[in-house]
A and B are shown apart, each in its own frame.
Chain A
Amino acid sequence: MDASLRRLKRDHLALHLAMSIFSDVPQAPPVAVFKLTADFREDSHPQKVNLGVGAYRTDDCQPWVLPVVKKVERLIVEDDSLNHEYLPILGLPEFRSASSKVALGDDSPAIKENRVGGVQCLGGTGALRIGAEFLRRWHNGVNNTATPVYVSAPTWENHNSVFSDAGFKDIRPYHYWDAANRGLDLAGLLDDLEVMSDELLDKAPEHSIFVLHACAHNPTGTDPTQEQWKKIAEIMKRRNLFVFFDSAYQGFASGSLEKDAWAIRYFVSEGFELFVAQSFSKNFGLYNERVGNLTVVAKDSENLTRILSQMEKIVRTTWSNPPSQGARIVSKTLNCPELFAEWKGNVKTMADRVLLMRDQLKTKLQELGTPGTWDHITQQIGMFSFTGLNRE
């Protein structure tokens, strides 16, 4: 082989060797809320405030460690009898049952009928993802990625990513926030649920999946009233729409576990099969231990068994065995009457503080003579508030 050809071959090979298989990876845009946090960290202004991240903070801007959590953590660390094996794939059994009970109520008929199960997941995100993966595989046919998934307009931005990464191709908004009236756009929402005529192809086809916020809607803080929920449920039942509740703030929104779970329990009592992605990050202040549960309410226990078996397969290829620390803390708390009572007290403290903050914010804005009306701040609920400020 002549020298120049050899050199060419060598350079060509060197170029190939130098090129990475990752050469074509496009730069992903930064996740908005964490970019906000990053920008906040870099901002050197002394009075900067980050109102973006969803973590409950005390007056000194630190996440609050619930007293009951501190207590239970001690109990766990001092417990010599603890089993140090991998958790089962579906998670700690006593955590799963206690979590589903907290969402559905102690006296839930669905639980008594043995048709409720849980899957311990990595936070609310993990629960949404496992539920989404299951639905993509087994809902509305097999591997039907075309089933529309409806999320509220606006919604937590991660809802889109979770369902889209689970394989769903058609993620659509449903009317939710009425900017003009700064409240729930019920008419728009009901309209989206209902097929008005066959020509209106953008109405929700049967078996579409609807992601509903159980309470303390993120980011608007506006929830439907009980009457409004009833109307929503009625149409959803008639149109065979699948209900997927996102419940990240139970107890935190109103201070009452029961009140914040009313919508979920109502739908269950109306005979819906549904999923609830529960997060204990906020109401236990356990942001760092990733404690979530996917509650499954099925038609009967036979269906439940099959659903859970498929869930197990999905979990097996995602994280296989969930982390135990957070689940143990929550499980111990929920399963012990004194600790449970103490926890409810801690949760009410947080909820009350948020309500107080809302009140104070509204008063302050009014005192400053800030243009506009600010009633919606106290009418909304939970940690988030849609101020109605425009982009600038």
Chain B
Amino acid sequence: MSEPGSSPDERGVNQNGDPGGKLSVSGSTHTPAESPETRLLSAFKTDGHARKVYLAGREYYSEDGKTFELRLVGKIKQQLSSDPTLRPEYPPSLGLTEFTRRATEAALGRSSHAVMENRVFGVQTPGFTAAVRLGAELLKHCFDDGATWCGPVYLSSPCDDSLAGIFQAAGIQDIRKYYYWDDRRRGVCLEKLLQDLERAPEQSVVVLSASGHYPTGADLSQHQWSVITQLITRRRLFPFLLLPAQALCYGDLERDGWPVQYCASQGMELLCAQAFSHCFGLYGEAVGHLLCVSKQSSLRLSLQAQADKTVGSLWAQPSAQGAHVVATVLCNPAHLVEWEGDVKHIVERCMLIRIILKERLRLLGTPGCWDHLTQQRGLYCCTGLNGQQVEFLSTWRHIYLLPGGCLNISAINGRNLDYITESIHLALTTSL
């Protein structure tokens, strides 16, 4: 149960005990702190410099600097719009059955024991955030039977800065961080990660990125997963996996989804928030999925009923179009082949940019080690630049990175590559 005014932005606002006369409903709202991302985007938009570059976006940008719709997706949308059998009925509250089935299969594979033992259900949600929110609400309710489980929830350091707020919105206030990205190592520091999780109280929830970690791009190896899951099981922690862009790391649903399958195969119960925006170019369509693997099939039913109830007062039913598209692709072998081809192209382009970026920095003699650029995969990467250097880039070079020095690889293209590499070089060699 949340304490009044305990979330970071609500704290510090005075209790308005005396309304007095006709009060505007907004009389007590103070000017809130905008999220760093919003501020960054505003700064970029008002920046008039000709060579300005925004490297902090979430979507995949093609070589021409724009987000795009896969040709296959466009074709399918055309087909769907002329399909006379499709009616605009309310979708089921937990989503289109064909979609949840395919989304579950995408994460767990086709021969999952958990599925066969009826311990799994999936909920279509309007996007990734909604999937996380639903997961948070389920966690909240499963302990909140008169009792007040408020966490803790452990998030990686760094992580998506909206995650904490989502759990808090569900009434879970105790949010903590576990060590993840190590600046010096330019990668994951397993020892410190394990130390933090070892100290976590039993029944803590640990949020782990299955692939394409946002914002660093640094993923756990299979060996690291094995060690971490052993700890999780031993310490009775609960894994909440994030899979927002499956197939964007290796071009392969199965390879990217390996951690989820692995955890399930170890008999663990888990939640997994998925999205299909990135890998289908369906950003505007809010296609998300929450996968729930429980220990017993009897629990599955009560959880499903709780999910139904929770969804009922949040959005009632999810929106149909995006899910129809994804389901259509995933259940048709020919479509699947074409889609995988498109995704491989995206993945190869990202890898190529990483290779070229690393090579350019080497040629410029830029200080520091840049191996991590090509060791990582996917859309995001952490450059290792510090706060001052990041500010230098935005102020003097009009290049916008996330505050922690992370950037979206796909936003780099043939036209801005030289400027960007020069700028990174300058940031690291100029005395600030």
B16 contact set on A, CB distance < 8 A: 140-142
A197 contact set on B, CB distance < 8 A: none
A25 contact set on B, CB distance < 8 A: 141-142, 145, 299, 302-303, 306
**A–B pairs, 8, beta carbons within 8 Å:** A31-B308, A142-B14, A206-B19, A299-B24, A309-B31, A309-B34, A319-B133, A323-B322
> What 1/0 flags go to A160-183 for Cβ under 8 Å of B?
011011110000000000000000
Nearest Cβ distance between residue B27 and chain A, in whole angstroms?
8
Instruction: Determine if A306 and B31 form an interchain contact, defined as CB atoms under 8 angstroms apart.
Output: yes
Instruction: Determine if A317 and B169 form an interchain contact, defined as CB atoms under 8 angstroms apart.
Output: yes
> What 1/0 flags go to B61-105 for Cβ under 8 Å of A?
000000111000010011001000001111101000000000000
A28-B127 in contact given A63-B89, A319-B315, A323-B322 (Cβ < 8 Å):
no
Instruction: Determine if B90 and A138 form an interchain contact, defined as CB atoms under 8 angstroms apart.
Output: no
B283 contact set on A, CB distance < 8 A: 84-86, 321
Q: Is B294 an interface residue (CB 8 A)?
A: yes
Q: How far is the CA of A323 from the CA of B169 in the complex (A)?
A: 21
Instruction: Determine if B321 and A289 form an interchain contact, defined as CB atoms under 8 angstroms apart.
Output: yes
A289-B81 in contact given A63-B88, A65-B87 (Cβ < 8 Å):
no
Q: Is A339 an interface residue (CB 8 A)?
A: no
Instruction: Determine if A306 and B26 form an interchain contact, defined as CB atoms under 8 angstroms apart.
Output: yes
Instruction: Determine if B31 and A165 form an interchain contact, defined as CB atoms under 8 angstroms apart.
Output: no
Nearest Cβ distance between residue A305 and chain B, in whole angstroms?
9
Q: How far is the CA of A162 from the CA of B316 in the complex (A)?
A: 10
A290-B238 in contact given A138-B26, A313-B165, A317-B168 (Cβ < 8 Å):
no
Instruction: Determine if B19 and A140 form an interchain contact, defined as CB atoms under 8 angstroms apart.
Output: yes
Given contacts A21-B142, A129-B313, A142-B28, 12 further A-B contacts (CB under 8 A): A27-B302, A28-B306, A82-B69, A133-B169, A143-B5, A207-B19, A240-B23, A286-B88, A290-B316, A298-B25, A320-B127, A324-B286
Q: Is B10 an interface residue (CB 8 A)?
A: yes
> What 1/0 flags go to B157-184 for Cβ under 8 Å of A?
0000010011011000000000000000
> What 1/0 flags go to A287-310 for Cβ under 8 Å of B?
111100000001100011011011
| B contact residues vs A (CB 8 Å cutoff) | 2, 4-5, 9-10, 13-17, 19, 22-26, 28-32, 34-35, 58-59, 67-69, 74, 77-78, 81, 87-91, 93, 125-130, 133, 139, 141-143, 145, 162, 165-166, 168-169, 203, 233, 236, 238, 269, 277, 281-286, 294-296, 299, 301-303, 305-306, 308-310, 312-322
Nearest Cβ distance between residue B151 and chain A, in whole angstroms?
13
Q: Is A202 an interface residue (CB 8 A)?
A: no
> Which residues in window 52-95 of A have CB below 8 A to B?
53, 55, 62-63, 65, 69, 73-74, 77-78, 82-87
Instruction: Determine if B145 and A24 form an interchain contact, defined as CB atoms under 8 angstroms apart.
Output: yes
Residue of B nearest to A165 (CB): B313
Nearest Cβ distance between residue B320 and chain A, in whole angstroms?
4
A162-B88 in contact given A22-B299, A141-B15, A314-B169 (Cβ < 8 Å):
no
Instruction: Determine if A287 and B145 form an interchain contact, defined as CB atoms under 8 angstroms apart.
Output: no
B87 contact set on A, CB distance < 8 A: 62-63, 65
A135 contact set on B, CB distance < 8 A: 25
B316 contact set on A, CB distance < 8 A: 122-123, 125-126, 158, 290
Most buried by A among B165, B169, B236, B286: B286
Nearest Cβ distance between residue A193 and chain B, in whole angstroms?
17
Partner-binding segment picked from A1-9, A11-19, A213-221, A249-257: A11-19
A interface, how many residues as a size bin? 35 or more
User: Which of B15, B31, B312 interacts with A142 by CB under 8 Å?
Assistant: B15
User: Which of B165, B269, B306, B319 interacts with A325 by CB under 8 Å?
Assistant: B319
Instruction: Determine if A85 and B284 form an interchain contact, defined as CB atoms under 8 angstroms apart.
Output: yes
A307-B25 in contact given A125-B313, A125-B314, A161-B313 (Cβ < 8 Å):
yes
> Which residues in window 106-165 of A have CB below 8 A to B?
122-123, 125-126, 129, 133, 135, 137-143, 145, 158, 161-162, 164-165
A24 contact set on B, CB distance < 8 A: 142-143, 145
B15 contact set on A, CB distance < 8 A: 141-142
Nearest Cβ distance between residue B123 and chain A, in whole angstroms?
13
Instruction: Determine if A317 and B126 form an interchain contact, defined as CB atoms under 8 angstroms apart.
Output: no
B308 contact set on A, CB distance < 8 A: 28, 30-31
Q: How far is the CA of A297 from the CA of B350 in the complex (A)?
A: 46
Residue of B nearest to A34 (CB): B93
A298-B9 in contact given A142-B4, A288-B90, A306-B29 (Cβ < 8 Å):
no
Instruction: Determine if B233 and A310 form an interchain contact, defined as CB atoms under 8 angstroms apart.
Output: no
Instruction: Determine if B130 and A21 form an interchain contact, defined as CB atoms under 8 angstroms apart.
Output: no
Q: Is A23 an interface residue (CB 8 A)?
A: yes
Q: How far is the CA of A319 from the CA of B132 in the complex (A)?
A: 9
Instruction: Determine if B10 and A318 form an interchain contact, defined as CB atoms under 8 angstroms apart.
Output: no
Q: Is A225 an interface residue (CB 8 A)?
A: no
Nearest Cβ distance between residue B265 and chain A, in whole angstroms?
15
B284 contact set on A, CB distance < 8 A: 83-87, 321, 323-325
User: Which of A22, A137, A166 interacts with B10 by CB under 8 Å?
Assistant: A137
User: Which of A19, A77, A122 interacts with B81 by CB under 8 Å?
Assistant: A77
Instruction: Determine if A307 and B320 form an interchain contact, defined as CB atoms under 8 angstroms apart.
Output: no
Q: Is A388 an interface residue (CB 8 A)?
A: no
Q: Is A105 an interface residue (CB 8 A)?
A: no
Q: Is A273 an interface residue (CB 8 A)?
A: yes
Instruction: Determine if B286 and A317 form an interchain contact, defined as CB atoms under 8 angstroms apart.
Output: no
A46 contact set on B, CB distance < 8 A: none
User: Which of B90, B139, B168, B285 interacts with A53 by CB under 8 Å?
Assistant: B90
B238 contact set on A, CB distance < 8 A: 21
Most buried by B among A69, A141, A161, A317: A317
Residue of B nearest to A64 (CB): B88
Q: How far is the CA of A283 from the CA of B281 in the complex (A)?
A: 30
Residue of A nearest to B163 (CB): A317
Nearest Cβ distance between residue A357 and chain B, in whole angstroms?
20
Residue of A nearest to B19 (CB): A207
Nearest Cβ distance between residue B377 and chain A, in whole angstroms?
23
A288-B32 in contact given A162-B313, A273-B25 (Cβ < 8 Å):
no
